[in-house]
Amino acid sequence: EKEKLKLISYEERVVRCPYRELYTSGRTDKSPRQYAEDFVPTTKTWSHSTFKSGLRADRSEDEKEDIMNQFWENYISLVEQEPEIHGMDYSHA
């Protein structure tokens, strides 16, 4: 007979983005631009290749990287405009 797995309990916790929490707490003297330049790479590390893979296959690698570099620079500018609304909370189960 096969052993069965039974879920006894489940708990979910949200961890607020530490970058945004520090910035909005006032415990740092970073400018909005500095916040954006610190925060955006944390998103870029896990999503750059996914977004890049969505670009047309007939583009060269250099062209794709140029597009992605502009994309990230645009995102940094958006975060700089309203840093308090940009963050990446984590959900743990």
Task: Show pLDDT as tens, one digit a residue, over the chain (93 residues).
Answer: 788 899 899 999 999 999 999 999 999 999 999 999 999 999 999 999 999 999 999 999 999 999 999 999 999 999 999 999 999 999 998
pLDDT of residue 3: 86
Q: Which of 89, 75, 72, 91 is nearest to 17 (CA)?
A: 89
pLDDT of residue 1: 73
Rounded-to-integer distance, Cα 86 and Cα 80, Å: 9
Largest CA distance in the chain: 63
Q: Which of 25, 30, 40 is nearest to 86 (CA)?
A: 40
Length of the chain counted residue by residue: 93
